[in-house]
């Protein structure tokens, strides 16, 4: 496995920001001239592009970046995003990210830009231009090569309302987070489609494989029907851990209000047991008391038992990470903070751009490693042998 530098994510974000600033200046020049590059049929001015100024270094929160200001032949163009003689853009990263993360409303971005810089910018030639140019970056990120082996992969969907063919439909954003064998956490990809289905997850898994993921040791998922079969079809050796929290919710779904506390208390000894044998005993005790009244609660645990109790074979440090999908649900909560004011997205692309740039912002904080990494890797190398040892240092 190729060792990932500690500043890998930081460098990726810095490159993204530098590229975004460059695109903003190019779009500003489009607006100044009144026509897009190579769109000479709509040119109504004698002025034109005239290459770029020599590169200059500007300071940002992510580190120094190099940019080249585009020029016009008449020398009239003065960019607003990076003004002449300006060499400090500290704080601008979050402002640009917030413009996109508002949900990609053209009017919102235009108003926000005008509020920050005090300039009027055309929503059709500048903002639309810039938001369209970010899509190739999304695709490049989405298709990037991945690690060969991941210790744990979390898969879950988050749902949004999107306008489609003059109707408002529910769309599922399929999200995947991986923890590699060095303990780094990374969002491996995101896909927007209607509804959540095991069939589409199968396509996601095949996409991960085509991008270089040869093996996943543990896959943490919710209780979606057919999910485990999709995983086994692509990664037959992978251990599946179904989310305990989702299982508890499913168990409580048909429980009457007056029994909620009692049933919840009776379930706790199952998933809090010291080992699988103790958990099985606790399930027997739960069945003896509640099977006649709530047979579904018992049968759902029985039918999913192997995948609900996979976490018992690992150390306490690893159990805490995998017995729920909290890792990806925490990520989803951070995305919802950004999107709470946006009830409907105009199209799939606007949703994808927002999720991507919000994800880049979230990942700024993912600089550390998983707690107890040394003990976890040691146990995984013993448990999985040659599936792990060639890829650790």
pLDDT in tens, 183-218: 999 999 999 988 888 899 999 999 999 999 999 999
- The tens digit of pLDDT for each residue in 231-275 reads 999 999 999 999 999 999 999 988 999 999 999 999 999 999 999
Helix-helix angle 227-234:198-210, to 10 degrees? 20
| pLDDT confidence bin for 321, thresholds 50/70/90 | very high
The secondary structure of 321-381 as a DSSP string is: HHSS-HHHHHHHHHHHHHHTT---BSSHHHHHHHHHHHHHHHGGGTTS--TTHHHHHHHHH
User: What are the residue ranges spanned by the domains of the chain?
Assistant: 8-142, 149-386
Paired residues of 56 in beta bridges: 67
Residue 17 has pLDDT above 80, yes or no: no
Q: Is 66 exposed, middle or buried (0-12, 13-18, 19+ CB in 10 A)?
A: exposed
* C-alpha dist (Å) from residue 199 to 205, 224, 337: 10, 11, 29
- The tens digit of pLDDT for each residue in 37-93 reads 878 787 888 898 999 999 999 988 778 889 999 999 999 988 877 888 888 877 655
> What is the reported pLDDT for 19?
78
The widest CA-to-CA distance across the chain, in whole angstroms, is 87
Residues 71 and 52: their CA atoms lie apart, in Å, by 5
Q: Is 166 exposed, middle or buried (0-12, 13-18, 19+ CB in 10 A)?
A: exposed
| pLDDT confidence bin for 172, thresholds 50/70/90 | very high
Paired residues of 242 in beta bridges: 221
Residue 104 has pLDDT above 50, yes or no: no
| pLDDT confidence bin for 119, thresholds 50/70/90 | very low
From 44, 41, 66, 332, select the one nearest 174 (Cα to Cα).
Answer: 332
pTM across the whole model: 0.73
> What is the reported pLDDT for 329?
92
> What is the reported pLDDT for 351?
86
> What is the reported pLDDT for 131?
57
Residue 1 has pLDDT above 50, yes or no: no
Residues 259 and 290: their CA atoms lie apart, in Å, by 10
Lowest mean pLDDT among 30-44, 112-126, 277-291: 112-126
Per-residue exposure over 106-115, b if at least 16 CB sit within 10 Å of its own CB, e if not: eebbbebbee
> What is the reported pLDDT for 40?
77
């Amino acid at each position: 496995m190729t060792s990932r530098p500690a500043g890998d994510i930081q460098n990726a974000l810095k490159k993204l920001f530098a590229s975004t600033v460059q695109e903003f200046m190019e779009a500003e020049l489009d607006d100044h001239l009144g026509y897009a590059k190579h769109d000479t049929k709509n040119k109504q001015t004698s002025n034109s592009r005239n290459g770029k100024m020599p590169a200059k270094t500007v300071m940002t929160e992510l580190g120094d970046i190099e940019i080249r200001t585009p020029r016009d032949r008449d020398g009239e163009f003065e960019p607003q995003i990076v003004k002449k003689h300006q060499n400090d853009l500290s704080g601008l990263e979050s402002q640009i990210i917030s413009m996109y993360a508002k949900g990609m409303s053209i009017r919102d971005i235009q108003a926000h830009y005008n509020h920050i810089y005090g300039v009027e910018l055309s929503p059709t030639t500048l903002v639309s231009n810039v938001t369209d140019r970010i899509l190739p970056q999304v695709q490049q990120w989405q298709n990037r090569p991945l690690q060969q082996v991941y210790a744990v992969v979390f898969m879950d969907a988050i749902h949004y309302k999107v306008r489609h063919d003059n109707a408002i439909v529910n769309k599922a954003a399929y999200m995947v987070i991986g923890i590699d064998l060095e303990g780094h956490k990374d969002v491996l990809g995101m896909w927007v489609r209607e509804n959540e289905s095991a069939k589409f997850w199968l396509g996601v898994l095949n996409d991960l494989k085509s991008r270089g993921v040869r093996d996943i040791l543990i896959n943490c998922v919710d209780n979606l029907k057919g999910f485990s079969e999709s995983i086994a079809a692509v990664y037959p050796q992978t251990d599946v851990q179904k989310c305990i929290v989702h299982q508890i919710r499913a168990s409580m779904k048909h429980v009457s209000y007056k029994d909620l506390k009692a049933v919840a208390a009776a379930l706790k000894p199952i998933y809090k047991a010291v080992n699988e044998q103790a958990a099985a005993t606790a399930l027997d005790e739960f069945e003896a008391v509640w099977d006649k009244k709530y047979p579904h609660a018992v049968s759902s645990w029985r039918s999913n038992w192997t995948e609900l109790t996979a976490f018992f074979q690992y150390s306490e440090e690893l159990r805490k990470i995998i017995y729920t999908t909290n890792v990806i649900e925490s990520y989803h909560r951070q995305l919802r903070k950004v999107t709470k004011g946006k009830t409907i997205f105009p199209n799939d692309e606007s949703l994808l751009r927002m999720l991507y740039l919000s994800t880049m912002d979230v990942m700024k904080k993912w600089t550390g490693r998983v707690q107890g990494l040394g003990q976890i890797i040691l146990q995984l190398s013993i448990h999985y042998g040659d599936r792990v040892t060639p890829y650790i240092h």
